[in-house]
Amino acid sequence: PDYHQLITEKGMVFSGCSRDGRLVEFIELPKLKFFAATQAHPELKSRMELPSPLFYGFVKACLH
């Protein structure tokens, strides 16, 4: 869409899209210590012994 170029020029990364490429499902702001947003539900696949990479990254960023 029209606004994607403007947003990416400001530093946002569209890091995950639907298979047809029409829906952005994950975004990141790499300049920040931790920023990730998703429409997915990683909590449904996360377990104590095998956490979702999104949750693992969040906890790791909080500890450092």
Q: Which residues contact 36 (CB under 8 A, 6 or more apart)?
A: 15, 26, 27, 28, 54, 57, 58
Looking at residue 16, what is its pLDDT? 92
pLDDT score for 35: 92
Cβ pair 36, 58 in contact under 8 A:
yes
Q: Which residues of the chain register pLDDT less than 70?
A: 1
